[in-house]
Amino acid sequence: MKKIKQLLWAAGLVSLTLPVWALEGDAQRGQAAAAVCMACHQADGSGLNIPGGESWPRLAGMNAEHLYKQLLDFQQGRRTNATMAPFAQMLNDQQLRDVSVYYSQLPATPASGYQGVDAELLAHGERLATRGDWDRYIVPCASCHGPDNQGAGAHFPGIAGQHAGYIERQLRDWQQGQRDNDPQHLMLAIAERMDDRDIRAVSAWLASQPAQ
């Protein structure tokens, strides 16, 4: 219990001390610069989820500050992905800002990857996402990702309505130490306590929820 209290304290500290700002960018310029993004993230920013294969996240409707941070992290090596890194390198800082603002202003599109998942697994995912599992020190997603998991600033993205395959891949990457660009290592601490069923369940349930 002491460790979970430390996690919650850290989450509260982050929310109190991380700066909040409005990203300066031009959506019209961003639309032109986003041409390099469309092959994977689609013209409408909806991304793509291939069952049993790769999943590219929905960018439409995501927080602009969060998108900008992730692009910077890819560009500067704090987040690694063989596909994303070269595309991030193609854009200068202003283009990163413009692209982020552009995608943030697009309407969110429905997610995929949860269709056909049985009701019991979805119910398990809902419990984890909204109430957590305190016996295993798994904090509910909403404690950091905001009400209804719609996001909370640059560091805690909206995960409701994101593709199940993408959420699952990120959880596994944190669990395996392949991703490490989150505040206070909060995601690592949570993901390492989740088993395979937990990850599949919470990914599917979050994908089934509407994004705002």
The residue segments making up the domain with residue 136 are: 2-17+111-208
Q: Are 96 and 24 in contact (CB under 8 A)?
A: no
Q: Are 117 and 198 part of one and the same domain?
A: yes
pTM, to two decimals: 0.90
Cα distance between residue 65 and residue 212, in whole Å: 16
Quick: pLDDT tens for 104-134: 999 999 999 999 999 999 999 999 999 999 9
**How far is residue 121's CA from residue 79's CA, in Å, rounded to a whole number?**
30
CATH number at residue 56: 1.10.760.10
Q: Is residue 22 part of a domain?
A: no
The domain total for the chain is 2
DSSP H or E run through 28 = helix 27-33
How confident is the model over 16-36, as a mean pLDDT?
82
pLDDT tens digits for range 151-188? 999 999 999 999 999 999 999 999 999 999 999 999 99
| Domain final residue, candidates 72, 104, 136 | 104
Residues 135 and 57 in one domain: no
